[in-house]
Amino acid sequence: MSGIVTLTAAGAIDATYRVGTLRRGAFARADSYTREVSGKGVNVSAALAAGGARTAAVVVLGADDVRFARCGLTAPLLRIVEVPGATRVNTSIIDAEGATTKVNAPTPPLSSGAWAATLAALREELALQTATWLVISGSLPKLSGSEELVELAAVRAAAEEHGARVAVDTSGPALDALLAEPAGIDLLTPNAEELSAAVGRPLATLGEVIAAARETVERGVTTVLASLGADGLVAVTADRAVFARADAPFVANTAGAGDAALAGFLLGLTREATATAAGDDPLAVAAASAAEWGAHAVAHASTLVAGPPHGIRALVETDPDLTRVLTPEGEE
């Protein structure tokens, strides 16, 4: 059975605090606290494994935290590349109303030796998993002593060498560079805000998001999966756009929802679909699966999902209403 390999070049420890009330400048005592190995690719692999897929997560972690990582629930999935020191910590604070405040630590640079070791581990896992997809997820570090990000050309070459398609879920300067020259990427997963920045105009309706996504497709991306937050998501190709939305049973933690949605989309593409409202349309099945996994994820207290979604069914539109007005950022 073929698998899916994820690459997290800037691994993290996710620390999640639950508090009654969060007030700026005030003292708050947490009601609960969890700590888990994370990073976007690790989250994607955890969701893929929960959905029954074969997967491996190549992740760069500080040596101080490797023992902890090897004792966690995701340990069997991890292909760890050790670097000196501690792993960065990303912090989520969730208040009684379910709002998530998230602070991510800066991405530490990688030495050229650590990057070479990461590429070697990646090539080995692509071969071991006979991978059909390589998912590049999360922040990309700079090379030590340089202002340049680690070079993705070698990563994409490794995927091509092993016959794996490439999905990318990143942000900031790395996303800007990819959006400027995205040819050869099979799946790109920006949110509406990132698409807006890429095209230099506001995107207030579903039709405007689809038009912006299609501009990226025209530059060489096969599919754009655009997250619309509470409004759902839309999968866009050169000639199609499929909208999907699913309601979560409740909201416990919004961190990691996008990672679960990406995993759901890949599960929908790579596995035989069960009966859904999307019927036998592969793109619609994948979009529905993405929406359902995203809704499933926000009902989890932690960043990582446990098990596949049950009882969540997406609304799917293969001919979406282009005039639909999107919820302004920050509102629900």
- Beta bridge partners of residue 83, listed in sequence order: 62
Q: Which residue in the block uniquely carries the two structure tokens 């501690």? A: 86
- Distance, in Å, from the CA atom of 49 to the CA atom of 307, rounded to the nearest integer, reads 8
Q: What does DSSP say about strands 241-245 and 100-103: parallel, antiparallel, or unpaired?
A: unpaired
Q: Which residue in the block uniquely carries the two structure tokens 């955890």? A: 46
DSSP class per residue in 156-211: HHHHHHTT-EEEEE--HHHHHHHHHS-TT-SEE--BHHHHHHHHTS---BHHHHHH
Confirm whether 259 is a catalytic residue: yes
- Active-site residue, from 259, 280, 281, 319: 259
- Distance, in Å, from the CA atom of 270 to the CA atom of 186, rounded to the nearest integer, reads 14
Would you give the DSSP letter of residue 139? -
Active site residues: 259
